[in-house]
Structure 1
Amino acid sequence: MLTVILLFILILCLLHFLFYHNSFAKSLLIVPGPQIKFFFGNSLDILLTAEELFTLSYRWVSLYKGIFRFYAYFHGAVCIYNPDDIEIIVSSMKYHEKSVIYKFLKPWLKDGLLLSHGSKWQHRRKILTSAFHFNVLQKYYPALEDNSQRLIKSLQNTNGKSIDIIPISSEYTLNTICESAMGTQLNAEAASAGKLYKQAIYEVTNTIVQRFANLLLHLDFVFNKTSVGKKQVKYLEVIRKFTENVIKERRKRIINPTMAKNDSDLDEKKEKEEYLLSNKKNRNAMLDLLISAERDGLIDDAGIQEEVDTFMFEGYDTTATGLNYCLVLLANEQEAQDKVVAELNGIFGDDNRLATIDDLNKMRYLECCIKESLRLYPPVPFISRKVPVDTVLSGYKIPAGTYCHIHIYHLHRDEHLFKNALKFDPDRFLPANSVGRHNYAYLPFSAGPRNCIGQKLAMIELKSALSAVLRNFKLIPVTKPTDLRFAADLVLRSVGPIHMKFMKRSFV
């Protein structure tokens, strides 16, 4: 027995030496970071719940200034949250490839725009860029405004009671992305499926966080055998079924015209015929563009599915997250809310007409409020890239093969970049106050070649929803910013509901 024990200890010592005394480890361990534990390295440090994992990032950021490292076995990463280092990583195509963390999204998003790299990414980005040109976004706008009005009707039914805004905002953004970029309106059956879709996304992102926190689950053959892996498969089937139906409905609408039976059908048939005859640049939905590209041999059916899954997730969940936190902040900051309402009164006066794109462009203070909300609560709190070559960050030589995690949430709360960083101050984003700010100090939509392709659509959507809400309701706080707690996730997920009241305004 003693011999077996000694042999076991010897093997552990040998493995420890292999893991932590190779040239890669020696280079990386020079970077400040949590203490390496025998054999396990830092792997036990992150074996936490999602909420504890988010809190841990706060603690490490307060201990290590600008950069720290994580190392376990042969897995090495640096975490950065200063603009000079971030500029090096995100501004260049050299660091174009996403880190290993994103492979956990592969069963879901495959090789969609978020995960692909190299020539495939460039090809897909080229196809999709025209779908987010401002002239095309104007065609999306009627769908956005229609859904903003539906949002108002749903809030009217709350009768000034305290409500959880998370399900309401997520329903709004899901309907909006379906009707604008996907060109498909959700009927009653699809709306019911949409609820399952939203729950499935929540569950899948939770399984991804669990996998990230446990290095053993990084191995596919291990993860697939666990209850977490089986749970992920179950919910991915729900997600895939929903997006497949979105594609199917749009194909049916634009590719297979049917005989018209009434005036409504005549209008629909005419729209289909106009679509088939129109120039590609005039297509009204991103999904139309993909279907057209498929007919031209530029993308296949699997590629369409990848991009629809990617844009449905990013267009629904991140925008809903941004909307939630902006509503909370405006409810709690009465002075800012009053300024937005005064701006809206200056644009609309006594007229209760619907907003136009030109009206949105005049909402400059509201835009500052949105930007400040995205600073304090960026919907995507961190991104991650692979370092393909030896790179100097914060004066440390980071060896090739390291993963680089960019903590946007902590970057945005750096006192050196934003004075009184925890204070909600929309005036930070007035043109005069933005002069001299580091170009990589503010990254709610990332930056560089891999910036968010849908950021203009997201801003229009947020302006449309918020202006409609504030023209009709006074926001009364219930949940305060200090009440908010977060869990590590793909988006800045609140732990628990977010409550507030909507009191009907009277047109003067």
Structure 2
Amino acid sequence: MWLYLCAIVIFLCILDLCLNYNERARMIKKLPGPPDDFIVGNGLRIIKSSVDVMKVRREYAKKWNGIYRIWAYPFGAVLVFNPEDVELIMSSMKYGEKSIIYTILKPWLQDGLLLSNGAKWQERRKILTPAFHFNILRQFCDIIQENTQRFLEKLEQTAGQDVDVVPLLSEYTLNSICETAMGTQLSEDLTGTVQSYKQAIYDLGYVFCQRFIRIYLYPETVFNLTSLGRMQKRSVKTVKNFTEDVIKQRRDYVEQYGFHTIGDNNDSEEVFVYKKKKKTAMLDLLLSAEKEGLIDKTGIQEEVDTFMFEGHDTTASGLTFMFMLLAHHKDVQDKIVEELKELLGDSERWLTMDDLAKMKYMERCIKESLRIYPPVHFISRKLNETTVLSGYQVPADTLCHIPIYDMHHREDLFEDPERFDPDRFLPENSAGRHPYAYIPFSAGPRNCIGQKFAMLEMKIAVAEVLRKFELKPVTKPSEIEFIADLVLRNNGPVKVNFVKRK
């Protein structure tokens, strides 16, 4: 009996040495990080609830300011939030390949712009970049305004009541991306389908994070046998059915009426698009590229799935926390309203892009909100060679996670980082800031292609809401409890009271 026990102990010790003290593990463990547990390394320290994972990440970020590591065989990860390290990783395509964790999203987003690499990514980026040209956004301005007026009508129905803004803003931003980039308006009879789509997005985010923190679910054969695997299959089917319908509607429209082009300010017919002088909305660009043999139906589906998600869910998150912050800062609200009055006087006309460009204070408010609550709070790249980060040699094939939220909350980069202070973004206050210290839309070649669109939508929403309503606080920032997800979410509703202005 004792002999068997000794043999088991010896075997486990040898196993621990092989898993946690091999050359690669020793190299990674030179970085600061949590203590290792026998055999499993740091595995048990990260397999937690979605709420606790976010709390642990904040604890580690405060303990190891700028860089730390996680080791759980066979995966090593380094988390970097020193701007200098972030710049090294993000400023070129040398580390442009997304890390292995994004393969979890492959059944949903496949090889769209978010997940693709190399030549395919470069080709898709070239095709899609003209969709966010300034003159395209100018055309979108009126469409977003129309959608914003419908959003205001819904707020009027609950004026003076505590309302959860999360579902309202999700619907608002989903309508905006469909009516602009996709050229398709969601009819009222699709309400149930829209709700199913949004729930499927939440479910896919949940599945992603549960699988991310549970290494034993990485193998497809194991994952597909679990309830999470079945949930993902159902959710992917729901999402793709919805986006396929959006594509079909626009394809039918184009076949009947042709592509809708957008002229320049001088009414010239000369407009831009990939390899042609034409300028159209995003889905029209993809359909046009299909006719030229530059992309196939699968490619169109990939990009529509990617942009439908990224184009609505991230902006909804940004607006959710923006409205919560404004509700708790009446002085900030008053300054934005004063800026509006100086610009418009008593006029009730819609704001134009030129108007929005003049609203410098409101823009600073949005930037500060995105600093405190960056919708995309975490990104990850692959280190394809041994790399020096913060003076440490990190071996090739290590996962490099960049926790944007934690960098935005570093006290040495942003004094009193939890305080909402729009004047941080005055030119004189931000001149000396490292260019990679603030990256709510990522940075470098793989930055967010739709960031100008997102800022336009947020500006219109904030300005038009404050013209009609005074925001009263309900949910407090201290009550926010983040859950691990693809975008920054609260573990529960985020409530605001919208009181009609007299």
Task: Provide structure 1 residue ranges, at least 5 long, that are not aligned to the other structure.
Answer: 258-268
Alignment-derived partner of residue 496 in structure 1? 492
Q: Does 1:460 align with 2:456?
A: yes
Once the 2 structures are TM-superposed, how far is the Cα of residue 13 of structure 1 from its aligned partner?
2.5
Give me the identity figure in percent: 52
Measured in 1, the distance between the counterparts of 2:152 and 2:376 equals 27
CA shift digits 1:66-87 (9 cap, x unpaired): 1110001121000111111111
Measured in 1, the distance between the counterparts of 2:351 and 2:191 equals 26
For 2:436, give the aligned amino acid: Y
For 2:66, give the aligned amino acid: G
Count of aligned pairs: 492
Judge which range, 137-146 or 372-381, deviates more.
137-146
CA shift digits 1:38-81 (9 cap, x unpaired): 11011111111100000000111121121110001121000111
Cα pair distance change 1:83/1:273, threshold 3 Å: closer
Whether the aligned pair in 2 keeps the contact of 1:141 and 1:180 (CA below 8 Å) is no
Measured in 2, the distance between the counterparts of 1:273 and 1:126 equals 20
For 2:241, give the aligned amino acid: K
Task: Provide structure 2 residue ranges, at least 5 long, that are not aligned to the other structure.
Answer: 263-268
Measured in 2, the distance between the counterparts of 1:97 and 1:51 equals 28
Measured in 2, the distance between the counterparts of 1:287 and 1:157 equals 34
Measured in 1, the distance between the counterparts of 2:9 and 2:380 equals 36
Q: TM-score, normalised by structure 1?
A: 0.94
Alignment-derived partner of residue 320 in structure 2? 324
Whether the aligned pair in 2 keeps the contact of 1:140 and 1:284 (CA below 8 Å) is no
Alignment-derived partner of residue 166 in structure 2? 166
- 1:245 match: secondary structure: helix
Measured in 1, the distance between the counterparts of 2:420 and 2:248 equals 44
Q: Does 1:433 align with 2:435?
A: no
Once the 2 structures are TM-superposed, how far is the Cα of residue 272 of structure 1 from its aligned partner?
5.8
Alignment-derived partner of residue 478 in structure 2? 482
- 2:496 match: secondary structure: strand
Q: Does 1:308 align with 2:311?
A: no
* Superposition map of 1:330-479 within 5 A: 330-479=326-475
Measured in 2, the distance between the counterparts of 1:273 and 1:305 equals 20
- 2:388 match: secondary structure: strand
Q: TM-score, normalised by structure 2?
A: 0.95
Judge which range, 414-423 or 134-143, deviates more.
134-143
Measured in 1, the distance between the counterparts of 2:261 and 2:40 equals 63
Alignment-derived partner of residue 84 in structure 1? 84
Alignment-derived partner of residue 223 in structure 1? 223
Alignment-derived partner of residue 233 in structure 2? 233
Alignment-derived partner of residue 65 in structure 1? 65
Whether the aligned pair in 1 keeps the contact of 2:325 and 2:477 (CA below 8 Å) is yes
Measured in 2, the distance between the counterparts of 1:476 and 1:324 equals 14
Cα pair distance change 1:138/1:12, threshold 3 Å: same
Measured in 1, the distance between the counterparts of 2:96 and 2:127 equals 18
Cα pair distance change 1:28/1:251, threshold 3 Å: same
For 1:345, give the aligned amino acid: K
Whether the aligned pair in 2 keeps the contact of 1:140 and 1:180 (CA below 8 Å) is yes
For 1:251, give the aligned amino acid: R
Once the 2 structures are TM-superposed, how far is the Cα of residue 480 of structure 1 from its aligned partner?
1.3
For 2:437, give the aligned amino acid: A
Measured in 2, the distance between the counterparts of 1:428 and 1:64 equals 25
Judge which range, 129-138 or 179-188, deviates more.
129-138
Measured in 1, the distance between the counterparts of 2:391 and 2:63 equals 18
CA shift digits 1:294-331 (9 cap, x unpaired): 00000000000000000000001000000001101111
Q: After the TM superposition, which segments of 4 or more aligned residues of structure 1 sit over 6 Å from their partners?
A: none
Alignment-derived partner of residue 35 in structure 1? 35
CA shift digits 1:435-464 (9 cap, x unpaired): 111001100000001100000000000001
Once the 2 structures are TM-superposed, how far is the Cα of residue 5 of structure 1 from its aligned partner?
4.2
Whether the aligned pair in 1 keeps the contact of 2:136 and 2:280 (CA below 8 Å) is yes
Whether the aligned pair in 2 keeps the contact of 1:15 and 1:39 (CA below 8 Å) is yes
Once the 2 structures are TM-superposed, how far is the Cα of residue 415 of structure 1 from its aligned partner?
0.9
Measured in 1, the distance between the counterparts of 2:343 and 2:270 equals 35
Alignment-derived partner of residue 151 in structure 1? 151
> Once superposed, what is the RMSD of the aligned Cα atoms?
1.5
